[in-house]
Amino acid sequence: MIEIQENIPLASWTTLGVGGNAMYFAVAFAEDEVREALEFVQRRNVPFFVLGGGSNLLVSDRGFPGLVLRIAIGGIEPRQESSGVVFRAGAGVEWDSLVERTVAANCAGLECLSGIPGSVGGTPVQNVGAYGQEVASSIVRVEGVEIASARKVAFSREECGFHYRHSRFNQQDAGRYILTFVEYALRPGGEPQLAYTDLKRHFADTLAAGARPSLAEVRQGVLEIRRRKGMVFDENDPDSHSAGSFFKNPVVSREEYARIAATSTVPVPHYDAPEGRIKLAAAWLIEQSGISRGFALGPAAVSGKHTLALTNRGGATATDIVRLKEHVEAQVLGRFGVQLQPEPVLLGF
Ligand code: EPU
């Protein structure tokens, strides 16, 4: 039987560490408990929110007037298939422990996603990506429970509708399902992905000698780079008390990019995106709009290691974070005419 608690502070369940209370709070260790939680919200007629790792979440100071359900469904099961080794993981598995396990098994496909906070269930929702890899290229199946009907559902990769930081689960079907299991097809003995500039630079000597780093070395390399950027959660590193990137990298038309490039005396970092569009670096736009690393408004500050992360320097409220967010947005809009979009999930606003 699932235990429902009342008036539980949510701040400590998030890496940003701000926000008010959940009216109700529960932890589900199995699919049955997810159904019990659904029965509870139907009986009480209260809204419902699914909490994963809390690493991509900004909770309002008012908190949430419904049930926050933390998914703690565990288990990692590899199985051999014609397409490679498929790792099936519970939505509550800590993401990096899955990555570590797959790298130790010498299976390629997730190594560049090392050190990302959060849980397995969050990865298909925003199509987690870093250092040239996205979960969209390895996910083969996503399972869940439909909230309205309590029925079991399953989706193939194609049915997930993956794009940059997008899937059906944060678009047309946002709030419709609770994800319970995800399956990733990986390549045993496969080569690591070395596509991202930072990563190629990190292994420049190895590559120059005509060698390839192993999957384990790439994992270590990614962890080092992320730590340098304050993007690995560490109690002792205030720059990591964030929700990761606070803004998405804007994807604009070629004309829009040309307009922006014409206003800049220095080259504008940009990357090719699908459908002939151009992805800009939000961190660069922020810095060029006059906001340096470490810029603070009260206890909310831009990370000292990366302008894309907003951090809680201790004692910040959600209001402080939102004030900084709005300041950053206004600066970038004023300088470049680009409206930044927040990347984390906003709860209770
Ligand atoms: N830059 C700055 N100032 C900074 C940092 C970066 O101007 O303080 C510029 C540089 O020109 C740099 C460019 O921004 O080349 C891009 O920076 P970086 O390589 O650090 O990547 P990012 O675009 O800021 C994205 C993801 C990260 C992911 C990294 C690595 C988004 C919103 N963010 O960041 O994901 O780890 O690439 O692949 O797509 C997250 O989503 O929470 C996240 C951390």
- Specify whether 171 is located in the same domain as 250: no
- Specify whether 41 is located in the same domain as 88: no
Give me the sheet containing 64-71, strands edge to edge: 5-9, 21-28, 64-71, 48-51
> What tokens appear for 260 in the block?
């922006």
Given 228, 249, 265, the domain boundary residue is 228
Among all residues, which ones are annotated catalytic? 165, 245, 343
Could you tell me which residues come within 8 angstroms of residue 88 by beta carbon, excluding any fewer than 6 positions away?
Answer: 75, 76, 77, 78, 79, 181, 182, 183
User: Residue for token digits 């590899």?
Assistant: 78
306 Cβ inside 6 Å of ligand 1: yes
Write out the residue range of the structural domain in which residue 199 sits.
Answer: 76-228
| In-domain check, residue 36 | yes
Contact between 26 and 51 under an 8 Å Cβ cutoff? The reply is: no
- Ligand 1 test: best mutation among 245, 247, 285, 311, most atoms within 8 Å of CB? 245
Contact between 16 and 241 under an 8 Å Cβ cutoff? The reply is: yes
- Specify whether 121 is located in the same domain as 243: no
Q: Residue 347 CB: number of other CB atoms within 10 A?
A: 21
| In-domain check, residue 145 | yes
- Specify whether 107 is located in the same domain as 140: yes
Domain count, the chain: 3
pTM, two decimals, is 0.94
User: Could you give phi then psi for residue 206, rounded to 5 degrees?
Assistant: -60, -45
Name the amino acid, one letter, at 39: E
CA distance 227 to 214: 20
| In-domain check, residue 41 | yes
- Specify whether 85 is located in the same domain as 66: no
Q: Tens place of pLDDT for every residue, the chain, 349 residues?
A: 899 999 999 999 999 999 999 999 999 999 999 999 999 999 999 999 999 899 999 999 999 999 999 999 999 999 999 879 999 999 999 999 999 999 999 999 999 999 999 999 999 999 999 999 999 999 999 999 999 999 999 999 999 999 999 999 999 999 999 999 999 999 999 999 999 999 999 999 999 999 999 999 999 999 999 999 999 999 999 999 999 999 999 999 999 999 999 999 999 999 999 999 999 999 999 999 999 999 999 999 999 999 999 999 999 999 999 999 999 999 999 999 999 999 999 999 9
Residue 253: its pLDDT value, please?
A: 97
| In-domain check, residue 233 | no
- Dihedral (C-alpha) 175, 177, 179, 183: value to the nearest 10 degrees? -120
Residue 276: its pLDDT value, please?
A: 96
283 Cβ inside 6 Å of ligand 1: yes
Residue 305: its pLDDT value, please?
A: 97
- Specify whether 169 is located in the same domain as 86: yes
Q: Where residue 212 sits, what CATH number does that domain have?
A: 3.30.465.10
Given 172, 207, 228, the domain boundary residue is 228
Residue 82: its pLDDT value, please?
A: 87
The residue whose C-alpha atom lies closest to atom 7 belonging to ligand 1 is: 284
How far is CA 146 from its chain centroid?
22
Given 28, 50, 71, the domain boundary residue is 71
**Three-state SS for 246?**
coil
- Specify whether 143 is located in the same domain as 113: yes
- Specify whether 223 is located in the same domain as 281: no
- Specify whether 220 is located in the same domain as 128: yes
- Specify whether 316 is located in the same domain as 246: yes
8 C-alpha to ligand 1 centroid (Å): 34
- Ligand 1 test: best mutation among 200, 308, 310, 345, most atoms within 8 Å of CB? 308
| In-domain check, residue 222 | yes
The residue whose C-alpha atom lies closest to atom 43 belonging to ligand 1 is: 245
63 C-alpha to ligand 1 centroid (Å): 29
- Specify whether 219 is located in the same domain as 332: no
**Three-state SS for 157?**
helix
The residue whose C-alpha atom lies closest to atom 41 belonging to ligand 1 is: 245
| In-domain check, residue 16 | yes
- Specify whether 191 is located in the same domain as 297: no
CA distance 288 to 4: 48
